Amino acid sequence: MVIPTVRLVGTMVLAVAVVAAGQLLPGSSILYSETAQLIAGLAAAVFCLRAARERTGVARYWRQLAAGGLVVWALTRLWCVVQVVGGSGGSTPRIIAAVGFLVLPACMLFGLLSATHTRPRPVPTSPRRDQVGLVIDSVLITGSVLALAWTVYPGDQLEDVVDTVWLAYPIFDLVLLTMAGLLLTTRPDSPAGRRPLLVIAAALVAFGTADTLRLLGTGPDWLETAGHLLGPALIALAALCPARPAPALPDSALLSRDWLHLLVPYGPVLVTGVVLAARTIGGEPLTPFQAYLGWLGLALVVTRQMLTIIDNNVLLDRVAETQRRLHHQAYHDPLTGLANRALFREHLILAVEAHERHGTPVAVIFADLDDFKLINDTFGHAVGDRVLSAVGERMRSCVRSTDLVARLGGDEFAVVFDHGMLQPPPQRRVRGRLRRIGGRRYVLSAAGVRVSETVDWPPDPSLPEPAPPTALAEGEWSAEAEAVGQRVLAALRKPYVIDGRSVGVGVSIGLVAAEPGDELTADVLLRRADAAMYAVKRHGKNALIRYTGPRDSLPNADLPQLLAGALADGGSPAAAGFEVFYQPIVRLADCATVAVEALARWTDPVAGRVHPDVFVTMAERTGLVAAIDDFVLDQACADAAALAARFGRPIDLHVNVSAGRLGQQDLENAVKAALSRHDLPPARLVIEITETLRIPDLPRAADVVGRLRALGVRVALDDFGSGFNALAQLHSIPVDIVKLDSTLTDFGNSPDRSGALCRSVLAICAELDITVVAEGLETPDRSGALADLGCPLGQGYLFGPPAALADL
């Protein structure tokens, strides 16, 4: 609500009417004047208190201060009335008047200072220094104005009032008025928000006029009385003004106001200095009062400059701290505090440059938590976040302080090692040496995958302490980098205790090490480590694979790039070296071939023959696996007639499809197109779901499988018992065939246990009318054992390795 201008005009008219009535009434004009001011002060205090109860914060604080000052001011007027009635003629003791009349200006001072909290400077600064600076600026301007007044006003009259106690009141009023003017001119606010301060400034003008007339002893008494009546009334009007939020001014307007805040105090000082200098040069010496004011102004200017320097230093520190914080936020993960992908890439580029210039070895670890979504779904995202933080801490504890651990996003972490030597972390001494334990470790290369044992960590404390580490020779670099990777793997395998609950999570780690002489890029290293990590996923997870790419005359041959080029849109996979091999699926009762599985093979012109685990993993990671699936599907359907001629009868075709494609319309369209293009009966096609990745949407996948079966195409669940393929898929997805993984058909270590598992699966599949194919049959004993258990079909090297159509 906007205060009507009529209310302000009415207040002034009322004050004039009261003064005029005092002039017309007979009797003591002093008694009437003091009584009217007493009533005005008490009434204004009541209005301020009522307005304060409806507000909070600074708005309540300054209104309460104003009410307190008005009460003391009114009580002082009451003392004056008592003195007049008692016959003292209004001669109030100076100590009572000095204290009583100075309380209201003091309260107004603190009230104006509190306005700095609601009207801060555009440039952030300390509130306390801001208030001190406001006081100094106000006193500095007031001193300059007094010095000018002393110069232009008759000196004899001013010398008469210098020693008068009443001199403090107009000076105090002028300081407060200056302070209100500075707040109005240098602090942003809305028109409605400025109105209370404008009314307060008008009240200070009224008080200042009355106090100046009383000091000089000139002018009519009614004008002095009117000033002392208008002052409290205007303060009450200011208290009744509604609060308004500060407007959102543009940055340019805020900056201009801050420059005004710096320049305004020195304008009067400059004018006063010029005037005094001119008069001094003209032969008029400075009076002691002017000299005192000059020294006071100099001290205030120096103090003000010191405050400005402090503010500038604080501002520069804040800018530097903000830059550091923004830099940290730009290059670090907010959850774990680890480096993010941007910082990791920069660090890896520097390490690769050092490797190219000085032959410094460099290695990269790429780690992905296994089935981390299950932790979020089971325990909640808060627990998942704490697990991620704990993973980051454990990874940092396994490497040196010079190595960089980063969270690349989600549940993916990476480490870059450089500086030519990998040693155990320096922050703690560990007794013992590495020992072998059971388990598997995979080393991935373009030629194949070899399996060896893993390493246990931490080492056995009963073993002797190892010798101090020495600099690594070129041949030892890869082994040492792999040892650090195994240390990270062992640390991350341990359960995490979160709020008293043990949370376990596996991790798949890919490692790539560049030794002196390798010419690689940061992107190549990261992609190879990524591909190695996904190969771990295909081989059962929770292990480490080291990527060892070809090091020959073509060191820049990068398999991910070559794969992307071979499967590019519009290109022919066959022209890029892709072909289809077939492996027989036989009936165990008579070893007759009843079907073949179509398998992709790739011989790149640059990298040579690439192992299927390598390029399939890369294709799944880069989203190119659909191109491989469609190529194998189309080629197998095209070879159906030739296969029937070779085996003397039509046989079924098993084609692998990535589980990630289930639920996508393009799979169903590709199957229909291949069947139609090559005129193949749907009953002869079997789509094998190779679930190296989790099926994203089981209900939708089941719907796609149902539509494929409606076409007459059968569906098989590949590698049952490994990866994600388990009983839940048998329940959710209507399949026709289950292919037992080789880990279930291996009876070598514990034949009784393996036999019990196979009998259970065979019984379940028999109840569901699902045909079972045993994979990985390499010996007659294993084949005979599966046949004795009732398994109808088998596949493995015992019956023939994958081979081209011409070699079957």
Backbone angles phi, psi at 645, to 5 degrees: -70, -35
Tell me, letter by letter, the H, E, C secondary structure of 453-476: CCEECCCCCCCCCCCCCCCCCHHH
Mean of the per-residue pLDDT values of the chain: 77
Token pair in block for residue 224: 């002095």
Tell me whether residue 804 is exposed, middle or buried, using C-beta atoms within 10 angstroms of its C-beta: 0 to 12, 13 to 18, 19 or more. Answer: exposed
Which of 313-322, 400-409, 507-516, 693-702 shows the lowest per-residue confidence on average (mean pLDDT)?
Answer: 693-702
**H helix intervals, 407-544:** 477-493, 522-538
Confidence class for position 135, pLDDT limits 50, 70, 90: confident
Annotated catalytic residue, options 159, 476, 775, 778: 775
Which of 139-153, 569-583, 587-601, 754-768 shows the lowest per-residue confidence on average (mean pLDDT)?
Answer: 139-153
Tell me whether residue 7 is exposed, middle or buried, using C-beta atoms within 10 angstroms of its C-beta: 0 to 12, 13 to 18, 19 or more. Answer: exposed
Question: Would you state the pLDDT for residue 467?
Answer: 38
Instruction: Give 581's strand partners.
Output: 599
Token pair in block for residue 576: 């890029």
- Report pLDDT digits (tens) over 38-76: 888 888 999 899 988 888 888 888 899 999 999 998 888
Question: Would you state the pLDDT for residue 438?
Answer: 37
Closest CA to 642 of 480, 806, 801, 449: 806
State the CB neighbour count (10 A cutoff) for residue 480.
19
Question: Would you state the pLDDT for residue 726?
Answer: 62
Question: Would you state the pLDDT for residue 738?
Answer: 92
How far is residue 699's CA from residue 704's CA, in Å, rounded to a whole number? 9
Backbone angles phi, psi at 415, to 5 degrees: -135, 135
How far is residue 140's CA from residue 286's CA, in Å, rounded to a whole number? 19
Backbone angles phi, psi at 402, to 5 degrees: -85, -15
Closest CA to 480 of 509, 507, 515: 515
For residue 684, give the DSSP letter.
G
Cβ contact 596:639 at 8 Å: no
pLDDT of 336 strictly over 70: yes
C-alpha separations of 114 from 55, 57, 430 in Å: 15, 10, 61
Token pair in block for residue 543: 């292990």
**H helix intervals, 86-190:** 94-118, 127-152, 155-161, 168-186
Question: Would you state the pLDDT for residue 722?
Answer: 65
Which of 29-38, 198-207, 376-385, 586-595 shows the lowest per-residue confidence on average (mean pLDDT)?
Answer: 29-38
- Report pLDDT digits (tens) over 683-729: 999 999 886 666 767 788 888 899 999 999 999 988 887 655 566 67
State the CB neighbour count (10 A cutoff) for residue 257.
17
Confidence class for position 258, pLDDT limits 50, 70, 90: low
Q: Which residues does 470 contact at the CB level (< 8 Å), separation at least 6?
A: none
Backbone angles phi, psi at 570, to 5 degrees: 90, -10
Token pair in block for residue 791: 């398994």
Mean pLDDT of 234-239: 89
Mean pLDDT of 77-101: 69
Question: Would you state the pLDDT for residue 700?
Answer: 85
Closest CA to 566 of 613, 520, 608, 624: 624
- Report pLDDT digits (tens) over 259-298: 555 666 666 777 776 776 776 776 767 667 666 767 777 7
Confidence class for position 454, pLDDT limits 50, 70, 90: very low
Percent of the chain with pLDDT strictly greater than 70 = 73
- Report pLDDT digits (tens) over 734-779: 899 999 888 788 776 677 787 888 888 899 999 989 999 999 898 8
Which of 208-222, 580-594, 596-610 shows the lowest per-residue confidence on average (mean pLDDT)?
Answer: 208-222
Question: Would you state the pLDDT for residue 698?
Answer: 79
Confidence class for position 793, pLDDT limits 50, 70, 90: very high
- Report pLDDT digits (tens) over 5-47: 555 556 555 655 665 555 555 555 677 777 888 888 888 999 8
Cβ contact 226:15 at 8 Å: yes
775 in active site: yes
Which of 361-365, 380-384, 425-429, 627-631 shows the lowest per-residue confidence on average (mean pLDDT)?
Answer: 425-429
How far is residue 521's CA from residue 518's CA, in Å, rounded to a whole number? 10
